[in-house]
Structure 1
Amino acid sequence: MADEVDTLFQEAVEALQAGDRARAKDLLTRLLKTDQNNVNYWVWMSAATETAKERVYCLQTARRIDPEHAAAKRGLILLGALPPDETIQPFPVNHPRAWEEQLILAHERPNEKQPFLSTPLARLAGLGALGIALCGLVFFMFIQPRLPRTSVIPTFTFGPSPTFTLTPTALNATARPSPTYVGPTPLWALLPATYTPTPLYNPTPRQPQSGDIFRAARDAYNRGNWEEVVNFMQQIAVVEPESADPWYFIGEAYRFQEKYADAQDAYNRALELNPNFGPAYVGLARVKLALDPAADALEDLDAAVKKDPAFVDAYLMRAAFKTDHADAKGALKDLKAAEALAPDSALVQYEYARAYLALDEPGRALAYAQRANELDITMLPVYLALGDAYTANGQTDEALKALETYVTYAEEDEFTLFLQGKLNYIAGDYETALEKLDASIKLKNNPEARLYRGLIYLEFGRGPDAIYELRVAVLSLPESFEAQIGLTRAYMLDKKYGNAYLQAEHAFPLAETDEQRAQVYYWRAKSQEKMGQLAQAKRDWEALLAL
C-alpha cells in the first residue's frame, strides 16, 4: 500500500512538472482521501489548482497541519495571504538566470584571464592544429615532389540543397503569444446553472486534418481560454462542415463568457446539422436559466435525455431543475441514471444531497454531502449543502465550520455577504454583521437578510427599525418562526404590548420544538403582564414551567 501511495505521489509530481495540472489534481485528490493530514500533498495540491483562492485554501490547510512548514509559508506570502517575514528564506535559485548575464555592463565584467589551454576544447583544438601541421609538412616535403604535373580541370558545384520543413510556415509569420486565462472562476457560479466548466463531451471521430486542432482546442478548454476555444473550433467547423459538436463547443465557450445570444446561435447551428445532438439541448437550457432563473427549461432537458441517454449532464441538469421546482422525487430518478453513468461524480452526490434536503431527509442529505466532499474537497457549493445538512441534523458547530469555509473562499456577492452577516450575528459580532447585511441588501433585497438585520436592531435596542425590518421579513417569510417571534420581541421593545401579544399568537402554530414553544409562552406572558391581564399571564407562566 505504501509503495502504491509513493508511486501515485511521484506520478502527481511528474504530471505537474510536465504541465498536466488536471492529472496532478486527480492523483493528489486520491492521495488526500487516504491521508488528509499529509502536509506535502496539500502543498503540491496548491500547485495543481487553477485559482489563487484555491491555492490559499490548500496552503492554509498545510499550515494548520504544520504551522512551521516553510514552503507553505512562502506560498502564502507570495499570494498575499501572509505578511512578509524576513525569517522565511526565499526559494533557492540553483542556477544563474539568463537575464542576469545580459544586465552586466562591459566595464563591470571581471578581467580575469584564463590560460589558453585551461579548457578541454582549447586543448583539443591545439592537438588538431599540431596534427594538421605535421601532415602538411610530410606532404610538401616527401609526396608532392614525386607527383606528375597535370592541369586541373575545374568542376561544377551545385548550390546548397534546399531545406524543407515538416509544416508550411506563412511568410513573415510571428509566433502566437501564450494564451492567458480569461474564463470564469471554476467551481462557484450560481445554481442551477453549472458552476464548473463541464468535461469535454465525447465527440465524433475527427478528420485527420483536424485532430491536432481539436487537441489544441481541448487544452484551451481545460485552461478556460474561451477565445482560443472559439478560434480552434471554428477552424474544425470549416474542415468538418457536417459535424455538430464544434458548434456545441463554440456555444459553451460563449456561454462561459456570458455571451448568451452568441451561445444560443451556436447551439441552434449544432441542432441544424444534427437534430439528435443531445448536448446542444442542455446548452440551450443553461442559457435560458442564465437569462431567466424562472424560465421553464424542462422541454429542452427532456429532449436532451431522449436524444442522448448516455450524456450525464442531461440527467444532472434535469435533476437540479426538478429539485428547484418542488419535484425532488423526480430528481432522484434522474440522479440514479446519472450515478450509473458516473458513479464517482461529486456533482451527482451533491445533487443527491440537495434533493434529500428538499425531501426533509437530513440524514441521507448529510451522507451524500459528505460523500461529495470526499470526492472533491475543492468543490465549494458542497460546503453550502454540508452547512444545511448539518443544521438540519442539529450539528450547529459543524454547520458553522462548513459555511465559514464557503464564505472564506467563494467570490463575494450578495449571497456570501448575507452568509457573512449571518455567521457574525451568530458569533455575536453585531457591528460586522450589520455591515455585511447592509452590503448584501444593497445588491439584492433578500428577505432573510432583512430578518437578520431586524434581529440585530433588536440587540441594539432600536425598536422602530427592528419592527420595520421584521415586518418586511414576515411578509416574505410567513412560515418563519424566527421572523414571527422576532417581530413579537420588536413590539415589546417598542412598548406595543397588544401587537406583541397578537404576534405571539401568530408564532405559536409555527413552534415545532419545546424551545420554540417556551419562547411563545414567555413573550405572551410578558405582554399580558404589561397589559394588566395577570390571570392569563399566570396560565402562560405555568405552561412554560410545565415544559
Structure 2
Amino acid sequence: MVDEKMFAQVVEAIEKGQRSRAKDLLTRLLKTDQRNPDQWLWMSSVVDSRKEQIYCLESVLRLDPENKAAKRALILLGGMEPGEGVVPVPPVRRKWVDELEEVEVEEEKQKSPATSGKVLGYISAGVIVIGLILGAIFIPGGRGLFQPKLTITPHTWTPTISPVPVTPSPAASSTPVPMSTGMPSLSSNLEATYTPTPPYVLTPHPQEAYQIAMRAYYEGNYEKMLNFMQQIADADETADAYFYVGEAHRLLGQYSQAIRAYNKSLSANYLFAPAYLGRAQAKLAQDPYEEVEEDLTRAIENDPGYGAAYLERAAYWLLWHQPEAALEDAQTAALLLPDSPFPYLYQAQALLALGEVEGVLALAEKTQSLDITIVDTYLVLGQMYLADGNPEKSLENLKIYDVYSSENPLEYLVTLGQAYYEVENYEEAVEIFTDVLDVDDDRIEILIYRGLAYIELGEFQSAINDTYAARELEPNSFRTGFALGKAFFAAKRYDNADSQFKAQVGRAEDDVQLAQAYYWWALTLEELGDVYEAREKWQALLELPVEAVPEAWLAEAEAHLHPTPTETSTPTSTPTLTPTPTDTPEE
C-alpha cells in the first residue's frame, strides 16, 4: 500500500515537472524492489544522461523482455536496432500533460488515487517516458552520471580501498540514526539520497511542528524540516531536537551549522550517541581526512549496540589504511545490521587491503544480494580477481565499474592498468598509468609498472627514465633498484645492471626477492662474459629454498652449471632491441 501511494506521488511529481522529487521517490522504491520494470521505466524518464536512460531501459527489458515502451525508447536513444513489430513512436508534443489528462479508464473512478496512478503508469508510461527521454537528450547542462572524474587517493603497492564514508540505514532502535549524504551506489549516482525511516526517539514531542518536520524528513525536504525542527529545539532544548537540526544542516551541505547543532545536542545530553556520529560525519564531509576517531568511539561507548557507528568507523579505518581495525568493526556492524550491504562490502575491502583473497568473493556476492546497485562491489571483484591471478575476470568487473561509477579513483586506475599489463596489453597499460602520472608524478608503484610495460614494448629509454625516477623517490628499496636493474638489462647496459642487481642482494627482504636478485645478476654476468662469477650466482640460486625459486629458473641454473652440447647459456628473456642513447647518470 505504501509503495502504491509513493508510485502515485511519482506520477504527480512528473505531472508538475518536479524531476528531482520524482527521481528521489523512484530511488526509494527501487531500493525496496529492484525487480519492478515499471519503476525502472519511469526512472528512465527522469535521469539526466543518455547512459543512465539506457541502463534503466535495459533493466526494464531484463525484467520484461517484451516491454514495447522500453524497446521504443531504446531505439530512439540508439541503444537498440528497430526490430519486427517494434517501431519507434514519433516524438510526443511538449504538452504531454494534456495528453495524460485525456486518458480515462472507466474503472478508474472506483479505484483509490494510488491505484489510479499505477494504472495510469501502465497505460501511458510508454508515451510519457519516450517523450521525456527525447526532451532530456537535448537539454544541455549538468554533469551526467557516467562522466569520469579523476580522483587521487593514497595508494600502496597492494591495491587499497578508499571508500566514501557512509552510514546506511540500521534497524530501528532507541537511538536516532544520522542519514548519509551519499552512498557509493547507483542510487547516489542517480542524484537521489535514499532516506530510511528515522527510528523512534526517547523524547516525546506533541507539537504539530515536530510531526511536520518528520514528514519533511521522510520526503527529503530538509529546508522545511530545518525550519520546523528549529522551532522544537528552541522550545524544548532537547538533545534529539538539536540533533535533527544538525541532520538537516548536514544534509543541506551546511556543515559548520550542523556541527554547532550537534554540539548543542551534546550540551543537552553528553551521552547522546547519535550526535557524536553526526558530528563526525559533518567533519568528514568538510575534510575526508579529518581525525574523528574520538567522536566515533564515543558514539560506540555510549551505545554499544549502535551499528551505524561501527560501520562509519570501519569506513574511517579503511580510509586511514588500518584494515585490521576496519575488519573488526565491519564484522560487528554485520551482526547489528544484517540487512545492510555495507558491512560485507567493507569486510571485503579490508581483506583485500590485508592481501587476503579468500572469502572476498562470498562477501561481494552477499553485498550484491542485498543491493545490486552498489558499484564499488565491482571494483572489489576486479581487485580480488587480479590478486587471484585472473586478470581477464578482473577486467570484466572493472569495465562494469567504469560504466556505472561517477568517479575513477586511483585504486581503480592502478588495478585496471595492472590488469591490462597482466593480459599483455602493454599499450593500454601505459596509457592508463600515464593518465595517473599526469596528475601525480610521484607515484612510485605506477612509475615502476609503466617502466616494466615500456620494457615489454621495447621502449628501453622510457623504461630507464621511469624506474630511475622511482629509485630517486625510494633510493634504498629493493623494488625500485630491481626494476631499474631490469631496465638497464633490457637496454643492454650491463655494467649498470650489474651494480643494481648486486645492491639488491643486500636489500632483499625474503628468499623470493633474493632469488630474483641472484637470477638477474647471473644473467647480467653472463652477458658481461664473467662466467666464473656468474656460476657463483647460479649456485647461490640453487641453494635457496625450492619454494622460493621458479622451476624454470632452477632448470636454467642447472643448464648453466652443467651445460651439454645441445644446451645454450643464452637467456631466453634477454631483449634483443637496441636501446636509445641515454643521458641517464651511470650507475
| Fold shared by both chains (TM-score > 0.5) | yes
Amino acid at match of 1:28: D
Within 5 Å, give how 1:190-209 maps onto structure 2.
191=163, 193-194=165-166, 195-196=182-183, 199=196, 201-204=198-201, 205-209=204-208
Aligned counterparts, 1:471-486, within 5 A: 471-473=468-470, 485-486=482-483
Q: Please give the alpha-carbon distance, in whole angstroms, between the structure 2 residues aligned to 1:183 and 1:341.
A: 37
- Give the aligned residue type for 2:209: S
In the alignment, does 2:340 pair up with 1:345? yes
Kindly indicate whether the alpha-carbon contact (under 8 Å) linking 1:437 and 1:449 is maintained by their aligned counterparts in 2.
yes
Instruction: State the Cα deviation string for residues 414-467 of structure 1 (Å, max 9, x = none).
Output: 525555544554555545544443333333444443333333433443333323
Q: Does the 8 Å contact 2:420/2:428 carry over to 1? A: yes
Cα 1:100–1:65 change in 2 (3 A) is closer
1:71 Cα offset (Å): 5.0
Instruction: Tell whether 2:437 aligns with 1:441.
Output: yes
Q: 400, 423, 429: which one pairs with 2:395?
A: 400
Query: Which residue of structure 2 lines up, in the alignment, with residue 278 of structure 1?
Result: 273
Q: Deviations over 1:109-148 (max 9, x none)?
A: xxxxxxxxxxxxxxxxxxxxxxxxxxxxxxxxxxxxxxxx
| Equivalent pair of 1:16/1:47 in contact (CA under 8 Å) | no
| Alignment: residue pair count | 441
Residues 412 and 327 of structure 1: is their aligned pair in 2 closer, same or farther, counting only changes over 3 Å?
closer
Q: Which residue of 552, 555, 564 corresponds with 1:546? A: 555
Displacement after TM superposition at 1:363 (Å): 1.1
Alignment pair present for 1:382 and 2:382 = no
- What corresponds to 1:527 in structure 2? 524
* Residues 64 and 356 (structure 1), Cα distance of their counterparts in 2 relative to 1, 3 Å cut: same
The partner residue of 2:484 within 487, 492, 509 is: 487
Aligned partner of 2:263 in structure 1 is 268
Which residue in 2 is equivalent to 1:364?
359
Q: Using a 3 Å threshold, how does the CA distance of structure 1 residues 495 and 303 change in structure 2: closer, same or farther?
A: same
Segments of 5+ residues of structure 2 without an aligned counterpart are: 11-24, 102-141, 152-161, 167-181, 184-192, 543-552, 557-587
Paired residues of 1:248 and 1:279 also in contact (CA < 8 A): yes
1 CA distance for matches of 2:353 and 2:46? 32
Within a 5 Å distance, the mapping from 1:39-50 to structure 2 comes to none
1:469 aligns with 2:441: no
CA–CA distance in structure 1, aligned partners of residues 206 and 281 of structure 2: 30
**Residues 73 and 88 in structure 2, CA contact (< 8 A), matched pair in contact too:** no
User: Deviation of residue 532 (structure 1)?
Assistant: 1.8
Residues 243 and 275 of structure 2 are in contact (CA less than 8 Å); yes or no, is this contact kept in structure 1?
A: yes
Identify the match of residue 238 of structure 1 among 231, 237, 248: 231
The Cα offsets for residues 222-277 of structure 1, whole Å up to 9 and x where unpaired, read as xxxxxx41342232221343244454455445545655433323332333343232
Please give the secondary structure, in 2, of the residue aligned with 1:213.
helix
Counterpart position of 2:451: 454
Q: Which moved more, 1:465-474 or 1:253-262?
A: 253-262
Matched, 1:315 2:320: no
The 1:57/1:451 distance shift into structure 2, 3 A limit, reads farther
CA shift in 2, pair 1:476/1:24, >3 Å: farther
Distance 2:254 2:446 in 1: 31
Does structure 2 retain, via aligned residues, the 8 Å contact 1:488–1:504? yes
Rounded Cα–Cα distance in structure 2 between residues aligned with 1:60 and 1:485: 49
Amino acid at match of 1:465: S
Q: Indicate if the aligned counterparts of 1:335 and 1:351 stay in contact, CA closer than 8 A.
A: yes
CA distance in 2, matches of 1:245, 1:185: 35
TM-aligned CA deviation for residue 303 of structure 1: 0.8
Alpha-carbon distance, 1:278 to partner: 1.7
Instruction: Report the secondary structure of 1:25's partner residue.
Output: helix
Residues 356 and 402 of structure 1: CA distance in aligned 2, closer, same or farther (over 3 Å): same
Q: CA, structure 1 residues 50+447, in 2 after alignment: closer, same or farther (shift >3 Å)? A: farther
1:279-336 CA-to-partner distances (Å, cap 9, x unmatched) read 2212332344445554432111111112233432201122233345565444444334
1:298 aligned partner: 293
Unaligned 5+ segments in structure 1 are: 1-9, 33-39, 103-181, 222-227
Distance (whole Å) between structure 1 residues aligned to residue 205 and residue 32 of structure 2: 29
Describe the shift of the 1:462–1:97 C-alpha distance in structure 2 as closer, same or farther (beyond 3 A): closer
What CA distance in whole angstroms lies between the structure 2 residues aligned with 1:89 and 1:478? 66
Q: Which moved more, 1:537-546 or 1:280-289?
A: 537-546
For residue 396 of structure 1, report the CA deviation from its aligned partner: 3.2
In structure 1, what is the Cα distance between the partners aligned to 2:71 and 2:536? 63
Please give the alpha-carbon distance, in whole angstroms, between the structure 1 residues aligned to 2:510 and 2:239: 57
Task: Tell me the distance in 2 between the aligned counterparts of 1:253 and 1:371.
Answer: 32
Deviation at 1:64, TM superposition (A): 8.2
Q: Compute the displacement of 1:406 (Å).
A: 1.4
Q: 2:276·2:298 contact (CA, 8 Å) conserved in 1?
A: yes
Q: Verify the 8 A CA contact 1:390 1:398 in the aligned structure 2.
A: yes
Indicate the percent of aligned positions where both proteins have the same amino acid. 31
What's 2:368 paired with? 373
Question: Residue 17 of structure 2 aligns with which residue?
Answer: none
1:446-504 Cα shifts (integer Å, max 9, x gaps): 44433333334334433333233224445667999875554332222333323324444
Does the 8 Å contact 2:214/2:225 carry over to 1?
A: no
Q: Which residue of 1 aligns with 2:87?
A: 89
CA deviation string 1:310-366 (max 9, x = no partner): 432201122233345565444444334322321121001112222333444421233
CA distance in 2, matches of 1:352, 1:479: 34
Write the letter of the residue equivalent to 2:228: Q
Contact 1:54 1:378 (8 Å CA) reproduced: no
C-alpha deviation, 1:184, in angstroms: 12
Q: Which deviates the most, 366-375 or 344-353?
A: 366-375
Residues 229, 101 of structure 1: alpha-carbon distance in 2 compared, 3 angstrom cutoff: closer
- TM-score, normalised via structure 2 length: 0.61
- Return the alpha-carbon distance in structure 1 between the equivalents of residues 342 and 97 of structure 2: 46
Question: Structure 1 pair 336/456, CA: closer, same or farther in 2 (3 Å)?
Answer: closer
Query: Partners of 1:431 and 1:68 in 2: how far apart?
Result: 42
Deviation at 1:45, TM superposition (A): 9.6
For residues 394 and 232 of structure 2, the distance between their equivalents in structure 1, rounded to whole angstroms, comes to: 53
| Conservation of the 8 A alpha-carbon contact between 2:421 and 2:453 | yes
Residue identity opposite 1:392 in structure 2: A
Tell me if structure 1 keeps the 8 A contact 2:52–2:145.
no
2:229/2:245 contact within 8 Å kept? no
1:25 aligns with 2:30: yes
Q: Does the aligned pair in 2 maintain the 1:11–1:24 contact within 8 Å?
A: no
Deviates more, 1:377-386 or 1:321-330: 321-330
Q: Aligned partner of 1:443: which letter? A: V
Aligned to 2:124: none
